[in-house]
A and B are shown apart, each in its own frame.
Chain A
C-alpha cells in the first residue's frame, strides 16, 4: 500500500509539470498583450515607455520558455511569484482565499453526499412506487436547472421575501446555506440516482436474502449490509465531484459574492495575470490529485477484494 502511495505521489511530478506547461502555453497563445491589458489599454492608450517598463518589471521581455523556466524555478523553491496586477505574492493571495472556497466546496460536498444517500435510499426502497417517481422527476428538474438561476431564485425566496437568510457574502453558517444548496443540488440529484441503482443491485444479492432468512431486522440489513456494499460507486464518484464542486464554485462565488479562489481566478484570466492563473491551476491540480488518491485509499479500506488482490499480486 505504501509503495502505491509513493508511486502515486511521484507520478504527481510529471502531471503537475504537464498541467502548468499546458496552461502556460495556452496563455501564450491567447491573443492580446498582457502589459497593455494591465495598463487598461482598452480605456486609454498607454505610452510606449509605460508598456516597456511594465513588460520589463514583470519579465515579459524574456522568451516564453525562459519565462516558464523562471516561474518553475521559483515554484520549486516554494515561491509562486507575484501578481502582475497588484504586485502581491501569489501564494499569499491563494492562502488568503482558499479557506473560503474549501469551506464552500467542503460543505457542499458533505451536503451533496448526505442528500444523494438519502435520495438514493428512498428511491431504492420505494422502487417504482410513487415516491420513486417523484424523486426521479426531482432529479431531472435539479439537473436541468442552471446554477445561476437557482441561486437567484433561492435569494429571492429565502432572503428577499422570507427574510430568513443573508443574501450574499461570507459570514456565519447562515451565509453558507444558499450557496451550498445552489452548488450541491444538481450533483446530488445525479449521484442519488447512481446510488439508487447500486442499492437495488445489492438488495438483490444472495447474502441479503440470507440476511432476511436469518431474521435480521430491516434496519440492520440496510445499514449493516446494503449501505456498506453500495457505497463503492458513490465513493468513486465523490472524489471526482469534489473537484467539480471546486471548479463549479466559480459561478456560485460570483453570484453570492463569496470571496474564494474562483472569483480570483476569473479576475486573473480577464487581466492576463499569468502568475495568479498558474498558481491557481497548480493548486487545483494538487487538490484534484489529492482527492483521487484519497478515493483510492478509501477503496482499499472499504473493499476487501482490493486488499486481497493486492496481497495476491505481491
Chain B
C-alpha cells in the first residue's frame, strides 16, 4: 500500500470516528423520561384532521360518546346517564350527566350534544355508516335532556350511538361547515401538542368526571414500521404498543420471550371470513360452497397460523355479543357432496394492505392446497385498497378472505352491511327471504321476537353458507412491565385512565 493510500485511509477512519464521536448518544443523549409520561407506539397517525368526524382517533381518549359498549357489547351509559324510548321506539330521550366538563372548562349541556349530533346529520360525509339516517330531529329539553325523533323505530338506537356513533365535541370546537377548529372533548386526556405524522402529546384533564388518570402525560408515537416498533419497545423508548395490527403474528413469540415485556390478548368484535362469490360458478352453487367448507379443517390451521390469537368461529359474528350470537347454526363436518366441476383457474382475492398484520396469505395457501389436492387450479390475487374494491364490485373473484367488525354490538350491523346490504358487500348472495327478515328485525321493538328473528336469520345463513366464518380475532397488545392496568375494549380502544406505573 502506498504512503498516499495509507494517508487517505487514515483520513477516512479519522473522519468516521469524528462523526461517530460527535453524533453518538453519549454526547447528546435524549433526556431521561419523566415517570409520569406514558409513551405508546402506534402504526399510523392518530390525527384525522379538521375535516374528519373527530379530529383525533378514539384511542386517544380525548373525546367521548353518549353511550359505551360493555364487554358483552351491550349499550351502557357514558356521557348519557340513562335513556328511554317512547312512541314505539321512534322517540328516544337521553339524560346527560351533570358532572361532565369540556377541556375548555365549560360544562357539558344538552345543547352541546344537539350541536354535535346536528354537525354529523348536516354533513353526511361525517356519518359514513349512516347511524343518523332515520333521524328526523334532535332537540335539547330541560334538565339536560336530549330528544331524538326517528322516522322508524330503532330498538338498537343507543348502541348505534356508541363510540364513533356520537362523538361529542364542544359546540365552539367546529364551525358551520363542520370543520373542527380544535378537539375540545370531555375525555380524560386533552390535546397538548400535535406533531403531524410524528406524535400526539396529551395531558391528563384534571376535571375529568370519571377515573383520574395516573399518568400526567400520554404520548402516541407514530412508528409505521413493525420491526422498529418492536425494537422501540425492547429498548424502552416506548412503554406499550396498542394499535390494531401493530404487533405482527410473527413477533408474538419473540416479544413474549423478552423478560421486561408483557404480551396480552384482548377479544375483539372482529370475525374473519372466507367469502364465496355467490354470483359466479362454481360457488354460486350451495353444494360447491359446502364441499369446500367440508374440506377445510379450521382446527388444524387457525391456531397455528394466528399464533393463538384466533378463536375458531362457531357463530356468524362475534360471540362477545352474547344475546345475539347463535353458536352452532352452521355445520362444518357433514360429509361433503361431490366436488364441483371447474374448468378454469379460480381466483382467491386478498387485500394487500392487511397481509402484514393478518395471516391471510398463509390461510389462502391452505385453501389453495385443498383445491389443488382435488385437482382444481387456483391462484391468489393481491390487490391494494382501490383495486380490491373494484374487483369486489365487478365480482372478479371466486373466493376472498376478509374481516368484519360488529361495531355496534348489534346483529343489525352485520346483516345490513353484509348479506342484506343490497350492494357488493353481499358477495353476490341474494336471498329475498333473508333480506326481508333482516329488515323486519331491524325495526322490531320486542326483544324476544327480535332474538327469534336473528336466530332464524342465522339458520338461513347456516343453510346457504354464503360466507364461512374462520375465526374470531383476539388482538395482541404488548407493554413493558413498568406499567400495569392496560386494558383494551372490544373495539380495541385502550382505557387510558386505568393504566398506572407498576409498583416495583
Please list the residues of chain A having a beta carbon within 8 angstroms of any beta carbon in chain B: 30-34, 36-37, 39-47, 49-50, 52-54, 57, 82-83, 85-88, 93, 96-97, 111, 114-115, 118-119, 121-122, 125-126, 129-131, 152, 155-156, 159-160, 163-174, 176-177, 218, 222, 254-257, 259, 263-264, 267, 270, 272
Contacts and interface: CB of A to CB of B under 8 A. Distances in A.
Contact of A42 (B5, B8, B231, B351): B351
Contacts of A40: 128
Contact of B5 (A111, A131, A264): A131
Nearest to A132: B5
A109 B411 CA distance: 57
A43 B128 CA distance: 11
B331 interface: no
A264 to B, nearest CB: 6
Contact of B130 (A49, A52, A97): A49
Q: Which 10 A-B pairs have the closest CB atoms?
A: A32-B386, A86-B49, A87-B51, A126-B5, A47-B130, A49-B124, A54-B125, A46-B128, A122-B8, A259-B198
A129 B2 contact: yes
B402 to A, nearest CB: 8
Nearest to B418: A45
Contact of A160 (B8, B223, B231): B231
B195 A259 contact: yes
B259 to A, nearest CB: 14
Interface string B49-61: 1111000000000
Contacts of B405: 43-44
A251 B133 CA distance: 43
B225 interface: yes
Nearest to A259: B198
Nearest to B223: A257
Interface in B370-398: 383-390
B386 A166 contact: no
Contact of B2 (A88, A126, A171): A126
Nearest to B51: A87
Contacts of B125: 39, 50, 53-54, 57
Contacts of B234: 160
A256 to B, nearest CB: 7
Given A37-B385, A168-B232, A264-B197, A254 B225 contact: yes
B20 A121 contact: no
B257 interface: no
Nearest to B227: A152
Given A49-B127, A82-B51, 11 more contacts: A31-B386, A50-B124, A114-B15, A119-B12, A126-B2, A164-B25, A168-B228, A177-B24, A257-B224, A263-B197, A270-B384
Interface in B21-64: 22-30, 45, 47-52
B417 interface: yes
B425 interface: yes
A6 B221 CA distance: 46
Contact of A131 (B9, B11, B23, B425): B9
A166 B49 contact: no
9 contacts: A30-B386, A32-B384, A47-B128, A86-B48, A86-B52, A167-B232, A168-B237, A176-B23, A267-B45
Contacts of B124: 47, 49-50, 52-53
B243 to A, nearest CB: 14
B152 to A, nearest CB: 16
A237 to B, nearest CB: 20
Contacts of B410: none
Interface string B205-230: 00000000000000001111101100
Given A31-B390, A167-B237, A168-B232, A270 B385 contact: yes
Nearest to A86: B49
A114 to B, nearest CB: 7
A52 to B, nearest CB: 7
Contacts of B385: 32, 37, 42, 270
B235 interface: yes
A236 to B, nearest CB: 23
A169 B8 contact: no
Contacts of B384: 32, 270
B423 interface: yes
B389 A166 contact: no
A174 B228 contact: no
A155 B237 CA distance: 13
A97 B30 CA distance: 22
B128 A44 contact: yes
A276 B329 CA distance: 48
B357 interface: no
A125 B2 contact: yes
A61 to B, nearest CB: 13
Given A42-B385, A171-B30, A272-B386, A86 B20 contact: no
A87 B24 contact: no
A6 B129 CA distance: 54
Given A41-B389, A168-B228, A85 B195 contact: no
B129 A46 contact: yes
Given A167-B231, A256-B228, A270-B384, A97 B197 contact: yes
A44 B15 contact: no
A47 B49 contact: no
Given A32-B385, A47-B130, A85 B51 contact: yes
Contacts of A167: 228, 231-232, 235, 237
B353 A83 contact: no
Contacts of A118: 8, 11-12, 15
A164 B26 contact: yes
A53 B178 CA distance: 12
Interface string B336-353: 000000000000000101
A82 B179 CA distance: 13
Given A46-B129, A50-B127, A85-B49, A165 B15 contact: no
B439 interface: no
B25 A33 contact: no
B498 interface: no
Given A174-B24, A257-B223, A122 B50 contact: no
A208 to B, nearest CB: 13
Interface string B117-128: 000000111111
